[in-house]
Amino acid sequence: MRRALLVAALTALALPASAFAHATLRHETPGFRQELASSPRQIVLRFDEPVYALPHAIKVLLPNGKDVITRDAVALKSARELVVAVPRLAKGAYTVRWEALSADGHVVSGVYTFGVRVRAPLVTDAVGAQGPTRTEDLVRWLYFAGLALAIGGIGFRLLVVRGPLGAAANGRFFRVVGAGIVLVLEAGIAGFLLRGEDALQLPFSRLLYGDLSPLAGGTRYGQAFIVLELAFALVSALIYLAWLLDRDAFLWAAFGIGIVFVAGLSLSGHSAAGPGDSKWSELADWVHLAAAVLWVGGVVQLALVVWPGAPELRRLAFVRFSRLAVVLVSLLVAAGTYLGILRLPRAHDLWTTGYGHDLLVKIGLVCLALAWGAAHHFLAVPRLDREAVAGRLGRTLVGESAVAIAVLLAAAILTDSKPPPQPGPVKAPTAAAVHR
């Protein structure tokens, strides 16, 4: 028995077709999102290691979902290349869906797009993709909430408290901020996988081996995902080191990186991808997000850290945060108004489009949160010395935090939605309908 096991082990190690990674698509013709001047004669997929051809391994889909490969003509050009001849393609956008049996026995799959005399759509708009779902909205919301807890929380500590917290409050601070950064990392991964699932349109067992590299390397969303995950992984390490070594320098570094990369969301949002958008809209998006994160994170820190954990700091922190909040809310409203006008140039879009409805809900929630904050600022601050007021304020701060977090949900839905088309410019072709 032992000898048999040993022989089996050595045999397995001797097998050549083996790697810790499955076959990866290295090169494709036509290229990823390539705009061709004329119809290609064939589709060629080159992998980094040998693959086996499967029936119907390459599909070239029209925007209506029809496969132009009418017969099963996929062949192995070499051990690493799959090839299929295509008929003459008319002007338009095309989606290629492919699959291959990797040498390690797994079926690897992928999708990409190209255009014949037109710009190719994003892979997230490939034929069959449905666009963002409610689950994605939820994940995006968790992402925003995580940013507020982590980056907003650190901002509060450095800009408002500006000094050491007591042991109890310090523990609470790091628990809130730690939960926030974990949420950012996990929601980031979940959001990317959901977007990949939508683009690939595969059953779960096959989805596990779906190739996400076109999404990661070929879309703004994917590039933002890579940059943001790496940046926030570093931020998580810095937060941890700040806790471990009791050094605020690590918190400053984490805050600096975090606040810069809050703008990473703009890389994948409408401000960087929509028609008529510019560097100014990207800057406005960054200001809007950074101000929102600092404002919401600050309210949460007041409610969950300072009020229960550091009663001696309540008055100081509340007064300082009220001053900062005026600046943050001014920036938030100014940038939001600019972006609102940019995305909805016609006033009636507010009540005639889905995007407008979402925006109205968000504006309503922001107004509620602002009114709550104003009541705190004008009514509670002058009476903070009274014990009863301070006690009640803790509870109302939790309420304000809940409204602020709800604003982030509305923001998440808006980020995943597409604004109505701008009047004038010609629309870029897309291969998939967006159902929102």
Partner 1 sequence: MIVAGIQPDAEFVHWWFATGFLVLALLLYAEILVGPEVWARRPWRRYLWPGTLFLMGLLMWPVMTFFTNSMIHMVAHGSWAQALMVAGGAELGLVRGKLHSQWWRLTSFVGLLVSGTALLVHEQNGWTFARAAFLHHAIGWLVIGASVFPLLQAFRPRSVVAASGFATTFAVMAVLLFCDRDVAPVFGHLSTYAGVPHR
Q: What one-character DSSP code corresponds to residue 263?
A: T
Interface with partner 1 by CB under 8 A: which range of 56-64, 240-248, 373-381, 404-412? Answer: 240-248
Q: Is the dihedral of CA 220, 184, 271, 420 positive or negative?
A: positive
For 62-99, letters b (16+ CB in 10 Å) and e give: bbeeeeebeeeebeeeeebbbbbebeebeeebbbbbbb
Q: Taking a C-beta distance cutoff of 8 angstroms, is the pair 28, 46 a contact?
A: yes
312 CB neighbour count, 10 Å cutoff:
10
Interface with partner 1 by CB under 8 A: which range of 208-216, 366-374, 396-404, 424-432? Answer: 208-216
Q: State which of residues 159, 216, 368, 402 lies at the interface with partner 1 (CB under 8 A).
A: 216
Q: Is 233 in the site for partner 1 (CB under 8 A)?
A: yes
| Nearest-approach distance from CB 247 to partner 1, in angstroms | 12
Residues within window 12-41 making contact with partner 1, judged by CB under 8 A = 12-22, 24-26, 32
Interface with partner 1 by CB under 8 A: which range of 6-14, 158-166, 285-293, 373-381? Answer: 6-14
Q: Is 217 in the site for partner 1 (CB under 8 A)?
A: yes
| Nearest-approach distance from CB 95 to partner 1, in angstroms | 17
E strand map for 229-280 = none
Annotate each residue in 106-145 with x if it binds partner 1 (CB under 8 A) or - if it does not, as one string. Answer: x-x-------------------------------------
Q: Is 179 in the site for partner 1 (CB under 8 A)?
A: no
Say if residue 238 is exposed, middle or buried (CB neighbours under 10 Å; 0-12, 13-18, 19+).
buried
The H helix count followed by the E strand count for the chain is 16, 9
268 CB neighbour count, 10 Å cutoff:
21
| Nearest-approach distance from CB 46 to partner 1, in angstroms | 12
Q: Taking a C-beta distance cutoff of 8 angstroms, is the pair 406, 328 a contact?
A: no
Which residues contact partner 1 by CB under 8 A? 8-22, 24-26, 32, 49, 103-106, 108, 185, 189, 192-193, 196, 207-218, 222-223, 225-226, 229-230, 233-234, 236-237, 240, 243-245
